[in-house]
Amino acid sequence: MLEHKINKNKFFDFCNGDVKGEDTETLNHFDEHTRYQFTRMLYAYGTGMTGQNPFANDEKVEITADIDSATHTSFYVNGQKAFTAITGMSYLPSEIQTFGTVQQPFKTRGYKPYDPSTNSITIGVGSRFNLGNGYSMTVQEDFVWGEGYGNGSKADDERCNMMIGGLNSLIHFADQQYFSSMTDTYTDYILDFLASQGVDTSREFVINGTHCELVNGKISEVGNDYVVPSSIQQKAVKRYEESMSQLLNSGTWYRWS
């Protein structure tokens, strides 16, 4: 959990250019980033990008910032929230490969039926589902296999295709291997499938340990503002927080402008 208390006098001097960051004993790179966000906000207001300018009447304006987390900073103008700045993260090549490879082995193995106490289900390699009308699908090592094609109409075959694609993307997403957007094409089919298994998607639900919810009709990971799976995001945030917590006089310098 991030906890950083700003020396206000030093920060004011730093923002005004009266003191250099490397000459302070308490300011760190979060302070430098906050100063950068301040200057960007002033630029946005001053150039009319926001459609409003609280500084136009030359009246005293109070600007404050709260560091909510390592990646989120909320800014206020005269006590009214103006915006929340969300900082993007950098990822290691190995991490990018984890969520950037379309076909890769599923992590979860086996099947655990729906648990109403946690609104959860586990779907992994070896799971098999009967779709009716002679159709079925089985979770293989790195893909979902469908059977029964030709038993019904072309529409039935197409539905089987979409169910297979939906289950494939759902498992990869729940296994922290896909962006949530990879499920978008199949949302209706995924919701039908989950309903058939007893999962209540009108509230938070859990697939393979990943907490999910519907946002604007799309499946998303609960509490994840980024498209990157949270397990990878959390590792990147930890590295970022450790780096940004270093004092500005430590010799490591980040430039935000």
Burial of 177 (0-12, 13-18, 19+ CB in 10 A): buried
Mean pLDDT for all residues in the chain: 85
Q: Are strands 120-123 and 205-207 parallel, antiparallel or unpaired?
A: parallel
Cα end-to-end distance, the chain, whole Å = 27
pTM score, whole prediction: 0.67
Q: Can you say whether the dihedral through the CA atoms of 16, 19, 21, 25 is positive or negative?
A: negative
Higher pLDDT, 66 or 199: 199
- Please tell me the distance from the alpha carbon of residue 164 to that of residue 146, in angstroms, as a whole number: 7
* 209, pLDDT greater than 80: yes
Give the helix ranges, DSSP H, for the chain: 8-15, 29-46, 93-100, 154-174, 187-196, 230-244
| Upper half-sphere CA count for residue 65 (Cβ side, 13 Å) | 24
- Please tell me the distance from the alpha carbon of residue 57 to that of residue 257, in angstroms, as a whole number: 28
- Decide: 24 and 15 in contact? Cβ < 8 Å: no
- Decide: 77 and 61 in contact? Cβ < 8 Å: yes
* 1, pLDDT greater than 60: no
Render pLDDT for 225-251 as a digit per residue (tens, 0 to 9): 777 787 777 777 888 888 888 888 776
- Please tell me the distance from the alpha carbon of residue 81 to that of residue 64, in angstroms, as a whole number: 9
Q: What is the greatest pairwise CA distance in the chain?
A: 78
- The type of residue at 90 is S
- The type of residue at 91 is Y
* 54, pLDDT greater than 90: no
Neighbouring C-beta atoms of residue 44, cutoff 10 Å? 15
Confidence (pLDDT) at 8: 62
* 257, pLDDT greater than 50: no
234 to 91, 231, 240: CA distances (angstroms): 11, 5, 10
